[in-house]
Amino acid sequence: MNLENTKAQMRKGILEFCILALLSQKEAYASELIQTLKDAKLLVVEGTIYPLLTRLKNDGLLSYRWEESTSGPPRKYYLITQLGKDFLSELTTTWKQLTDSVNKVTRG
């Protein structure tokens, strides 16, 4: 039993929610999202976020456009779609219910 492992498991399914929420506020590219999540103490690495973004895009929740950068290779800016906004709305409800339930159970 490993605390780090359990932490990782707790994060499962939450990243989708966080990324949709961030992109609903403003468009961003992957490295930018990683930095934002790190600042919020939600550890994420490249190998996690790139497949996730691709998955969300393939499911129609996100779209993207290329943009040139003055300090490196071009960036893939991701935008949330209407479908993504609808899904985010449901996830928000789900998250609230989940935290309520957990807090109820764990506070005895």
Under DSSP, is residue 103 helix (H, G, I), strand (E, B) or coil? helix
Beta carbon nearer to DNA, 67 or 89: 67
Shortest approach of DNA to residue 103 CB, angstroms? 17
E strand or H helix that includes residue 9:
helix 3-11
* Cα gap 95→90, rounded to integer Å: 9
**Residues making contact with DNA (CB under 7 A):** 5-6, 8-9, 11-16, 29-31, 43-48, 50-55, 68-76
The listed partner (a copy of itself, DNA, none) that binds 82, CB under 5 to 8 Å by sort, is none
**Nearest-approach distance from CB 72 to a copy of itself, in angstroms:** 25
In this complex, which beta carbon is closest to a copy of itself, that of residue 69 or of residue 101?
A: 101
Nearest Cα neighbor of 61 from 93, 19, 94 is: 19
Interaction site with a copy of itself (CB under 8 A):
1, 3, 6-14, 16-18, 21-22, 24-25, 36-37, 40-42, 55-56, 59-61, 87, 90-92, 94-95, 97-99, 101-102, 104-106, 108
